[in-house]
């Protein structure tokens, strides 16, 4: 989902003229206090401008000073890991996928500040999945708590070129409503389009990649859920890797993805795609459809109206038995490391940010690429469900009004390591390159995950 080029590290100017009035922060400062914030650069310029406006409003209202650095996605992840390792940390850190990468294991090792008092200020407003996705297990205290403050949410919708579907002689209105049939619907379009001269076209933007970091894992887990295997790790942190239903779902997921690849419906290079490559292939019209996170795919063409309007954004079909498939809801959030020098102002800034009117204005000005983690905002502000923008409205309905589930690293930090090792992409490569059976590849992957999770026993007091 990362198709836009990254700009160099920007140090946010916090003296911008403010627009509009937001609610007051939660502490009144007799003298200005300073807090340092590392924030992830947006995928569209409007996101960075919106963040700067929000910071300027906070400064004007509170009297505090925010020393903010807006850092591209790749470098900020490296900086966060380095800072947490060395102990030379800012007061607040935020990264889109920190909640499923660095946060779980650092909470396990008691390196982050408990932020329950921050989340509690808006707890009644949050989506239940967003709340569940913000609680982590601390192996020192032996209990779960809020160490992560969600300020946004996103899911994975389908992105489809309507013009390619119609050029192949089909109509999206005829797409089946169940999982396998929906994916199969696009396969015959490939040859139809090749017969019309589009020789490099592929039907499916699958990511059976061993490179990652995110897209291949996301693809596999959506198939796992669709096939009834979402109980692989439960919210108590316990793994059920050899449950017959889970194993059957794993085998089915590996079989469908690798068969589609071997039958030639997926670009050959997908085995080594990174998170930007499927976006690039989609924008180049090398693939007809893609399942990928956020609506960055669409928003990168926001100022190219014809192309923007040509894309269709769709939520998930039902499973093969006609039951809804819940979307995996990810929550971009912020956290405070132990060793931060001004924790109270950092908390105050986060309390300010997650006020519904503040976070809504911030995300709206970012063109709605990230959803507010509070359903009432989506229900009550016409911006989010306005049918005049079918991308945003379909995405908001899927993420905030449809069924959702958290991702496994929330439940057990060992699964963050498993995702980082690209275990499922490796299993797919074992089938495609090495000729391993799906059953054998599934057994190998499950055994490896079991060995990792065994290092993280959950025993809540």
- DSSP letter string over 364-404? HHTTTSSB-S-HHHHHH-HHHH-TTSHHHHHHHIIIIIS-E
**10-154+330-405 matches 158-328+421-453 in fold:** yes
**Is 435 in contact with 446 (CB distance < 8 Å)?**
no
Please provide the CATH number assigned to the domain covering 10-154+330-405.
3.40.190.10
Q: Report how far residue 166's alpha carbon sits from residue 143's, in angstroms, rounded to the nearest whole number.
A: 54
Tell me what pLDDT residue 44 has: 85
Tell me what pLDDT residue 459 has: 83
Q: Report how far residue 282's alpha carbon sits from residue 304's, in angstroms, rounded to the nearest whole number.
A: 15
Per-residue pLDDT tens digits of the chain, which is 461 residues long: 333 332 333 333 333 233 333 445 555 444 569 999 999 999 889 999 999 999 999 999 999 999 999 999 889 999 999 999 999 999 999 998 899 999 999 999 999 999 999 999 999 999 999 999 999 999 999 999 999 999 999 999 999 999 999 999 999 999 999 999 999 999 999 999 999 999 999 999 999 999 988 999 999 999 999 999 999 999 999 999 999 999 999 999 999 999 999 999 999 999 999 999 999 999 999 999 999 999 999 999 999 999 999 999 999 999 999 999 999 999 999 999 999 999 999 999 999 999 999 999 999 999 999 999 999 999 999 999 999 999 999 999 999 999 999 999 999 999 999 999 999 999 999 999 999 999 999 999 999 999 999 999 998 64
The position carrying tokens 């579907």 is 165
Q: Report how far residue 54's alpha carbon sits from residue 58's, in angstroms, rounded to the nearest whole number.
A: 6
Beta-carbon neighbour count of residue 284 at 10 Å? 9
435: phi > 0 → left, psi -120 to 50 → alpha, else beta; which? left
Tell me what pLDDT residue 43 has: 87
pTM (2 d.p.): 0.91
Beta strands 158-161 and 34-40: pairing type? unpaired
Beta-carbon neighbour count of residue 8 at 10 Å? 8
- For residue 156, give the nearest of 345, 12, 316 by alpha carbon: 316
CATH 3.40.190.10 matches 158-328+421-453? yes
Q: Report how far residue 61's alpha carbon sits from residue 358's, in angstroms, rounded to the nearest whole number.
A: 12
Residue 70: phi and psi, rounded to 5, are -100, 115
Tell me what pLDDT residue 31 has: 55
Residue ranges of the domains in the chain?
A: 10-154+330-405, 158-328+421-453
Tell me what pLDDT residue 32 has: 60
Tell me what pLDDT residue 64 has: 95
303: CB partners within 8 A, 6+ apart: none
């Amino acid at each position: 989902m990362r198709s836009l080029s990254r700009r160099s590290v920007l140090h946010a100017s916090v003296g911008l003229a403010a627009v509009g009035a937001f609610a007051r922060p939660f502490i009144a400062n007799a003298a200005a206090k300073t807090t340092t914030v590392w924030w992830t650069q947006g995928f569209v310029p409007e996101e960075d401008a919106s963040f700067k406006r929000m910071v300027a409003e906070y400064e004007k209202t509170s009297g505090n000073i925010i020393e903010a650095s807006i850092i591209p996605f790749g470098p900020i992840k490296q900086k966060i890991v380095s800072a947490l390792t060395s102990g030379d940390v800012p007061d607040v850190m935020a990264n889109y996928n920190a909640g499923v990468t660095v946060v779980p294991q650092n909470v396990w090792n008691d390196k982050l500040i408990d932020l329950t008092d921050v989340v509690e200020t808006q707890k009644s407003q949050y989506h239940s999945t967003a709340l569940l996705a913000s609680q982590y297990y601390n192996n020192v205290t032996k209990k779960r708590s809020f160490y992560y403050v969600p300020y946004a949410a996103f899911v994975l919708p389908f992105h489809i070129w309507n013009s390619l579907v119609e050029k192949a002689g089909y109509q999206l209105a005829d797409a089946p409503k169940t999982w396998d049939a929906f994916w199969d619907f696009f396969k015959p379009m490939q040859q139809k389009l090749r017969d019309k001269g589009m020789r490099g076209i592929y039907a499916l933007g699958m990511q059976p990649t061993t490179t990652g970091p995110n897209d291949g894992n996301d693809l596999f887990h959506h198939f796992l859920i669709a096939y009834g295997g979402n109980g692989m790790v439960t919210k108590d942190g316990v793994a059920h890797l050899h449950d017959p239903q889970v194993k059957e779902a794993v085998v089915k997921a590996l079989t469908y993805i690798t068969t589609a690849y071997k039958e030639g419906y997926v670009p050959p290079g997908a085995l080594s795609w990174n998170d930007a490559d499927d976006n690039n292939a989609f924008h180049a019209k090398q693939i007809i459809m893609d399942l990928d996170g956020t609506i960055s795919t669409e928003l990168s063409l926001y100022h190219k109206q014809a192309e923007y309007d040509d894309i269709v954004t769709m939520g998930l079909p039902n499973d093969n038995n006609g039951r809804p498939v819940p979307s995996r809801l990810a929550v971009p959030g912020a956290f405070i490391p132990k060793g931060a020098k001004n924790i109270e102002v950092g908390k105050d800034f986060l309390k300010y940010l997650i006020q519904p009117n503040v976070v809504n204005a911030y995300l709206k000005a970012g063109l709605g690429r990230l959803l507010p983690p509070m359903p009432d905002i989506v229900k009550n502000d016409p911006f989010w469900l306005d049918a005049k923008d079918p991308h945003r409205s379909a995405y908001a309905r899927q993420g905030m009004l449809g069924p959702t589930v958290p991702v496994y690293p929330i439940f057990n930090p060992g699964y963050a390591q498993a995702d980082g090792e690209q275990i499922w992409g490796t299993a797919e490569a074992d089938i495609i390159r090495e000729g391993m059976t799906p059953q054998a590849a599934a057994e190998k992957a499950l055994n490896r995950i079991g060995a990792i999770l065994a290092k993280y026993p959950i025993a809540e007091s």
